[in-house]
């Protein structure tokens, strides 16, 4: 019911995940990102019971593969889950449980992973992989490009998505790093619209003359420099 891509840009220290699903509010459950790792927990058994301990272990310098195996071994539902992610240094891990609904599988690339379940076929994840490799631009943009390619390759075999999300952790945060669209139809297109709106806002606030006129010279840049919630 879900397909996703995780990636890291070791040159900038950014990590991120993009995801779409026929499951409602997928952004509230499945994507996780920190300065150490980006990961997606999806399929039958997923969510905070995976994401929170994995982020905590990553913060203690425990590698994703070791951490993931420890969590999976202690979850009775892990045979039905998918778990994949990319560490900030580019190391990757991917797991697809034997009970994940067909078609289910994953692809591991250079500093990125793609995975999905209940898909139209393997092409969904391979096209995501290929699109990410060929994409250029900021990490958020490359993730959305890959997600779009997965949808174009058939996406979920049952039809339209209900929700989509992108979550990026970077040294300098931006509004475009944390976006969700929870609306049936084409939430991936909605993410692109939200991304463009966020970029336009960033461009508008980059011109400080208006703020200097309103607040005075030497104004606190915190009024336009937003910290992102994770």
Of the listed ranges 51-65, 160-174, 214-228, the least confidently predicted one is 214-228
Radius of gyration for the alpha carbons in the chain, expressed in angstroms and rounded: 18
Mean predicted lDDT score pLDDT of the chain: 92
Q: For residues 177 and 167, is the Cβ–Cβ distance under 8 A?
A: yes
In Å, how far are 178, 197, 225 from 31, measured between CA atoms?
10, 22, 24
Using the structure block, give the residue that is written with the tokens 């779009």: 148
Could you tell me the pTM of the whole model?
A: 0.92
Q: For residues 20 and 91, is the Cβ–Cβ distance under 8 A?
A: no
Give the per-residue pLDDT at 211: 62
Give the per-residue pLDDT at 219: 60
Give the per-residue pLDDT at 77: 92
Residue 158: pLDDT band (50, 70, 90) is: confident
Quote the tokens at residue 42.
Answer: 């999806």
Quote the tokens at residue 95.
Answer: 């797991």
Residue 225: is its pLDDT beyond 70?
A: no
Give the per-residue pLDDT at 220: 63
Give the per-residue pLDDT at 208: 64
- The Cα 39–Cα 145 span in angstroms is 18
- The Cα 228–Cα 230 span in angstroms is 7
Give the per-residue pLDDT at 57: 98
Give the per-residue pLDDT at 96: 98
pLDDT in tens, 61-75: 999 999 999 999 999
Give the per-residue pLDDT at 146: 98
Give the per-residue pLDDT at 207: 64
**What is residue 214's DSSP assignment?**
H
Cβ neighbours of residue 124 closer than 8 Å, sequence gap 6 or more: 3, 103, 116, 150, 153, 154, 155
Q: For residues 140 and 195, is the Cβ–Cβ distance under 8 A?
A: yes
pLDDT in tens, 17-42: 999 999 999 999 999 999 999 999 99
Helices (H), 117-215: 123-134, 139-152, 187-206, 209-215
Written as one string, the DSSP assignment of 77-130 is GGGGEEEEEEETTS-EEEEE-TTSPSS-EEEEETTEEEEEESBS-THHHHHHHH
Q: Between 156 and 217, name the one with better pLDDT.
A: 156
Cβ count within 10 A of residue 207: 9
């Amino acid at each position: 019911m879900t397909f996703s891509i995780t990636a890291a840009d070791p040159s900038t220290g950014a990590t991120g995940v993009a995801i779409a699903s026929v499951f409602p509010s997928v952004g509230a459950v499945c994507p996780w990102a920190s300065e150490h790792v980006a990961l997606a927990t999806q399929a039958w058994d997923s969510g905070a019971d995976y994401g929170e301990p994995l982020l905590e272990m990553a913060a203690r310098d425990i590698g994703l593969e070791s951490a993931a195996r420890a969590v999976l071994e202690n979850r009775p539902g892990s045979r039905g889950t998918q778990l994949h992610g990319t560490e900030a240094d580019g190391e990757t891990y991917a797991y697809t449980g034997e009970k994940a609904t067909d078609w289910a599988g994953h692809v591991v690339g250079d500093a990125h992973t793609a995975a999905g379940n209940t898909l139209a076929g393997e092409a969904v994840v391979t096209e995501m992989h290929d699109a990410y490799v060929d994409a250029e631009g900021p990490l958020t943009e490359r993730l959305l490009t890959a997600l779009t390619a997965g949808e174009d390759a058939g996406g979920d075999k049952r039809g339209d998505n209900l929700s989509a999300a992108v979550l990026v952790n970077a040294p300098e945060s931006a509004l475009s790093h944390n976006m969700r669209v929870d609306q049936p139809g084409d939430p991936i297109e909605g993410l692109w619209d939200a991304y463009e709106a966020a970029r336009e806002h960033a461009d508008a606030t980059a011109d400080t003359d208006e703020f200097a006129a309103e607040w005075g010279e030497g104004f606190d840049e915190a009024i336009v420099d937003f910290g992102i919630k994770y």
